[in-house]
């Protein structure tokens, strides 16, 4: 079993430097608590400061945690699953199909998944500062042996208000760590070609390697397969 990491504190430093109020540069610096972020950032800004520049700095602190899912998470996982489908896939999948999805029906599926105890199946959830579940990731052994990869991301979903906040990246990195610790050296994921998450995976160094057509309630949608040859 992979132990969930401790509460992760992420500090985002934004330096807005205006030169005669005509040119603006924005610098974003992430600090994970392992060193003195304020001192590092001060030196970073000082090195770029000139007499003609006006510099203002804003520091924002976000706290989030990643942990393994437990059986009692099934109601909130079902809620995140359904809500994220309805917001993410609107316009890609027929409204009639999305509108008939219910949290109640998805609960039964999550009860089964969380009670199976598969040794090669991992589910992690992300929580915001208030302890509310914001998303989840699930993965395990690659389901398509012919693909030639060890592991696969089965699902990654975040509530709309948490997309783009760093939760998804932390979830993926946590799952990758679980894969590494259990001897998996490569990874694969399928994502709808029109899904913005496709670019998210590419930014995380996933390489598009294949495509296929998926049938969802009689609608043909195109999927892209992305791979990581080495984790």
38-95 tens-digit pLDDT: 444 444 444 443 333 333 334 444 567 899 999 999 999 999 999 999 999 999 999 9
159-211 tens-digit pLDDT: 988 888 788 998 999 999 999 999 999 999 999 999 989 999 999 999 999 99
**For residues 50 and 23, what is the distance between their CA atoms, to the nearest angstrom?**
14
Please tell me the predicted confidence (pLDDT) of residue 63: 62
Rounded to 5°, the CA angle 45-30-39 comes to: 45
**For residues 171 and 5, what is the distance between their CA atoms, to the nearest angstrom?**
11
User: Which of 34-48, 108-122, 146-160 shows the lowest mean pLDDT across its residues?
Assistant: 34-48
* Domain spans, the chain: 8-63, 69-228
State in words which class domain 69-228 has: alpha beta
Mean pLDDT, the chain, integer = 78
Give the pair of three-digit tokens for residue 36.
Answer: 């003195």
> Three-class SS string for 48-101?
CCCCCEEEEEEEEEEEEEEEECCHHHHHHHHHHHHHHHHHHCECCECHHHHHCC
**For residues 208 and 194, what is the distance between their CA atoms, to the nearest angstrom?**
13
**Residue 122 CB coordination number (10 Å):** 22
Cα of first residue to Cα of last residue in the chain, in angstroms, is 19
């Amino acid at each position: 079993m992979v132990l969930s990491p401790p509460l992760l504190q992420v500090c985002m430093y934004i330096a807005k430097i205006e030169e005669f109020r005509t040119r603006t540069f924005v610098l974003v610096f992430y600090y994970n608590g392992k060193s003195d972020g304020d001192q590092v950032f001060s030196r970073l800004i000082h090195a770029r400061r000139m007499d003609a520049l006006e510099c203002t700095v804003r520091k924002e602190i976000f706290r989030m945690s990643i942990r393994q899912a437990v059986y009692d998470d099934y109601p909130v996982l079902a809620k995140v699953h359904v809500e994220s489908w309805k917001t993410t896939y609107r316009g890609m999948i027929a409204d009639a199909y999305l509108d008939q999805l219910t949290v109640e029906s998805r609960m039964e599926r999550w009860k089964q998944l969380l009670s199976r105890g598969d040794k090669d199946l991992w589910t992690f959830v992300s929580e915001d500062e208030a302890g509310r579940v914001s998303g989840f990731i699930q993965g395990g052994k690659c389901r398509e042996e012919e693909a030639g990869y060890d592991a696969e991301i089965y699902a990654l979903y975040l509530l709309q208000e948490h997309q783009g906040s760093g939760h998804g990246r932390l979830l993926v990195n946590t799952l990758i760590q679980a894969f590494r610790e259990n001897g998996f050296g490569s990874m694969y994921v399928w994502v709808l070609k029109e899904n913005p998450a496709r670019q998210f995976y590419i930014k995380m160094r996933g390489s598009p390697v294949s495509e296929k057509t998926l049938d969802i309630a009689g609608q043909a949608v195109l999927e892209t397969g992305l791979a990581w040859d080495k984790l």
